[in-house]
Chains A and B, each alone.
Chain A
Amino acid sequence: MKSHATCTNDEAKDEELLKVRNLKVWFPIKSGVIQRTIGYVKAVDGVDFDVVKGETLGIVGESGSGKTTLARSILRLVKPTSGEIYFKGINIVKANRRKMKEIRRHIQIIFQDPYASLDPRQTVSSILFEAMKIHGIVKSKSEALEKAVKLLETVGLSEEHLYRFPHEFSGGQRQRIAVARALAVNPTFLLLDEPTSFLDVSVQASVLNLLKDLQKDFNLTYLFITHNLAVVHHMSNRVAVMYLGKIVEIADKDSIYYDPKHPYTFQLMAAIPLPDPEAKKREVLLEGDVPSPINIPRGCRFHPRCRYATERCRKEEPQLLERDGRLVACHYEIDFPAEEVTGELTDE
């Protein structure tokens, strides 16, 4: 059971902090006067993976892949339809209110939009104090103040920022405040849902550096969700690629980029624009549009856009199985042309 969803290297014997088994999140589509359910948006449709303590697992995918819904369902911000999520032995899907609150202290989340994830009417001090109050982290106002100042300094802000409103800060600073809020409850696991997508490049760099430092200093485990493949490569140890609600490949970050085994992964990596004009421009294009999770193709979900699709692919859905030192969901072993995967580096 364990090796089914983890990488088969030595990390398997490390502690798994999070175990997700066959998670499904379906949203019913209702129609008509009596609101009959006529179908489902199958945002997450059977996902298995583990996150090992201390690692950063990156989850990538395009729109419709379900990665955002997945993140939200782990914290039950969205109700999972079926499946199990184990965190430190507790099944999140079935936990009661009290257990959930406990869990919410250990798992925190940083959202994508720094402009909207803070209450515009609260000052920074109020935001931090509230977090501490909800979980009873401190016992007195002065202790709270002390901790708040320390938190701000940890994320690169200072005491004078305590009494300002969110709108007085830039995007990058607001994300730092969000990080401070998350750290205020002493979590062990951090879900990062596109934390730098709305930020400028230079700001993104400093926030990513901060996240890396915090991971080391506070021994945190990260689940990093993004659509930016360069960022995920920089931050993660392993990367999972999602397509239409399922994981199609999980491997360590270099294998995913340099040696993908799933046709979608290959296309995805080939599409990344590189900050190097000399790198070969790959003209291999993925035709068609990103599909909608309402009408999921039969068999392998990717078959309508896959150039290697066969009859079997149209009928049978492939399982996520171990192969070549990673997990991949494809019926066939395909060798992708190497020079189409990576650009060549030219010297000065």
Chain B
Amino acid sequence: MKNYLKKQGKDQPILEIRNLKLDFHTYRGEVKALNGVDLKLYPEEVLALVGESGCGKSVTALAITGLLPENASIIEGEVLFKGENLLKKSKEEMREFRMSECAIVFQDPATYLNPVLKMETQLKEAILLNKEALKKAVIAEEKGEKIGYAEFLAMKANPNEVSVKDHRVSRRKIDKMAEKLIIDILKLVKLPDPERIIQSYPHELSGGMKQRTMIAMALARRPSIFLADEITTALDVTIQAQILHLLRELRKKIATSTLMITHDLSVAAEIADRIAVMYGGNVVEVTSTRKLFRKPLHPYTQLLLRAIPNILKPVERLESIPGTVPEMINPPPGCRFNPRCPFVMEVCKGERPKLEEVEEGHEVACYLYKR
């Protein structure tokens, strides 16, 4: 994988998390949610961040996007985007980041869309932030040019091309242009009947349609990073298949790095290039999808794979992992998996093992593989 990337000149990660430690203040004590997370996201790849509840994958997403709640405090570590530490940025800068560089889609479309506004109003909100570019688009169209979303994006990128100040463009025209562009975006994902969709209220659309709309809106602005937090979890399996298919198709057209957060390893198998497995606030294994399934190294990954019912390889009893998910207020010392690990050694209870590359393209955080 690395060689392939090197050839493309893309062997530098676009997003890198280094040793991120994060705590939450609660009544019962400090919840040590992230315990030194290391993660690298390369350009144009799909990296799946997989883990069960409580492992910290959603918290990691919040840390990247600057949407952490009030009671979170960063103890240590960096989140580097194109070399800059996002954790040190101001709220304004993070907003800018979320608007232009990083697009996020969350799990349940019913909860993040405003139920009393039509889709049209909500979708326009984002596009209308680019007043200048919209003005230019209207002017260009009046001159006879054909303006589609691709052209609009180009105008967004070059702010000083056309002098806009002398022209007065009516609000209605800007509005109409925004609407046209949205329909264009929806057609991109082959949603049937986009005009009807934008006139609908959120509750009139199905979950699958809402998610597809949100994915379209997210990817349409060509972000550098697309963060998908459990986007198919709430959907039916046939709709999930549609969305995964959509993502695969869009990937060919839009070069974004995708961080796909999911608890479902099968979904990761369907769409990811690489998979990072998280447990107890750490990334414990990262490798290509194929290698993870064929040769999982970390004991947690191995047990996890044996716990999933697989139609193609049916078993009488599934293997479950003994014990329970660690209590994050008083987590076990050292490697947080040690109370449940079948291969536990004394050293595991001491210092936490770091994520290291033990084979080409395969990183593990486990003392079994330390040289």
Q: Which residues of A contact B223 (CB under 8 A)?
A: none
- B242 lies within 8 A of chain A by Cβ: yes
> Which one, B70-78, B213-221, B315-323, is touching chain A?
B315-323
Q: How far is the CB of B309 from chain A (nearest CB, A)?
A: 4
Given contacts A202-B304, A205-B321, A343-B312, 8 further A-B contacts (CB under 8 A): A62-B236, A201-B308, A202-B307, A230-B310, A267-B238, A272-B311, A274-B311, A279-B312
Q: How far is the CB of B90 from chain A (nearest CB, A)?
A: 37
Q: How far is the CB of A290 from chain B (nearest CB, A)?
A: 6
Q: In the complex, what residues of B have CB within 8 A of residue A212's CB?
A: 317
Residues A202 and B303 in contact in the complex (CB < 8 Å), given A62-B237, A289-B239 = yes
Residue of A203, A205, A227, A348 touching B237 (CB-CB under 8 A): A227
Binds B, one of A2-10, A35-43, A179-187, A280-288: A280-288
In the complex, whether A121 has a CB less than 8 A from a CB of chain B is: no
**Closest CB in chain B relative to A197 CB, distance in Å:** 10
Q: Which of these binds chain A: B136-144, B258-266, B341-349, B352-360?
A: B258-266
Judged by a CB distance under 8 angstroms, whether B201 is at the interface is no
- Given A268-B238, A277-B289, A286-B238, the answer on whether A208 and B311 have CB atoms closer than 8 Å is no
B residues engaging A (CB < 8 A)?
A: 52-53, 206, 208-209, 236-242, 244-245, 263-267, 269-270, 289-290, 293-294, 303-305, 307-312, 314-315, 317-321, 324-325
Q: Is the CB of A273 within 8 A of B266?
A: yes
Interface membership of A21, Cβ < 8 A? no
Could you tell me which residues of chain A, from 222 to 258, have a CB within 8 Å of some CB in chain B?
A: 227, 229-231, 233-234, 257
B321/A202 in contact, CB under 8 A: yes
Among A267, A274, A279, max chain B CB count under 10 A is at: A274
A275 touches B308 (CB 8 A): yes
Q: A277 contacts B324, CB within 8 Å? A: no
Closest chain-B Cβ to A282's Cβ sits at a distance in Å of 8
Task: Check if A17 is an interface residue, CB within 8 A of chain B.
Answer: no
A345 to B311, CA, bound (A): 12
Q: When the two chains form their complex, are residues B317 and A202 in contact, meaning their CB atoms are under 8 A apart?
A: no
Q: Check A63/B236 contact, CB under 8 A, given A201-B52, A276-B293, A289-B206.
A: yes
Contacts of B244 in A (CB 8 A): 273
Please give the residue numbers on chain A whose beta carbons come within 8 Å of chain B beta carbons, in ascending order.
62-63, 170-173, 200-206, 208-209, 212, 227, 229-231, 233-234, 257, 267-268, 270-279, 281, 283, 285-286, 289-290, 342-343, 345, 348
CB neighbours of A63 from chain B (8 A): 236
The answer to whether B290 and A278 touch across the interface, beta carbons within 8 angstroms, is: yes
CA distance A342 to B313 in the complex (A): 12
Given contacts A276-B293, A289-B209, contact A202 B52 (CB under 8 A): yes
| Complex contact A209–B320 (CB within 8 A) | yes
Q: Quick one: which of B238, B242, B312, B321 contacts A62, CB cutoff 8 A? A: B238
Complex Cα distance A62/B310, Å?
Answer: 20
Is A205's CB under 8 angstroms from B242's CB? Answer: no
**Closest chain A residue, CB of each to CB of B52:** A200
Q: In chain A, what residue has the closest Cβ to B244?
A: A273
**A residues near B303, Cβ cutoff 8 Å:** 202
Q: Known: A200-B263, A227-B236. Contact between A234 and B241, CB under 8 A?
A: no
CA distance A345 to B290 in the complex (A): 13
CB distance from B203 to the nearest CB of A (A): 12
Contacts of B267 in A (CB 8 A): 273
A sample of 11 cross-chain residue pairs with beta-carbon separation below 8 angstroms, ordered by A number, consists of: A62-B238, A202-B320, A208-B309, A234-B314, A271-B240, A271-B241, A272-B237, A274-B266, A275-B269, A279-B269, A290-B238
Question: A19–B294 Cα gap in the complex (Å)?
Answer: 45
